[in-house]
Amino acid sequence: MLVTDMTDPDWEPIMKKAAAIVTNRGGRTCHAAIIARELGIPAVVGCG
């Protein structure tokens, strides 16, 4: 599980290894949400 404040394209190699993603910032169209959808893994964004 990847837990972070936010993601950007530099995080993609790590995101591909994660079983899920949680971020403090973001919304439905943020980078973490889009990549999670592409990878088919759960994500919770905008928790902070």
Q: Do strands 43-44 and 2-4 pair parallel, antiparallel, or not at all (unpaired)?
A: unpaired
pLDDT of residue 22: 98
pLDDT band at 48 (very low <50, low <70, confident <90, very high): confident
pLDDT of residue 31: 96
> Tell me: domain 2-44, CATH 3.40.50.10490, correct?
no
Residue spans of the domains in the chain: they are 2-44
Residue type at 17? K
Q: Is the pLDDT of residue 28 over 90?
A: yes
DSSP for 3-32, please give it.
EES---GGGHHHHTT-S-EEESS--TTSHH
Residues involved in catalysis: 31
pLDDT of residue 8: 95
Q: What are phi and psi of 32, to 5 degrees?
A: -60, -40
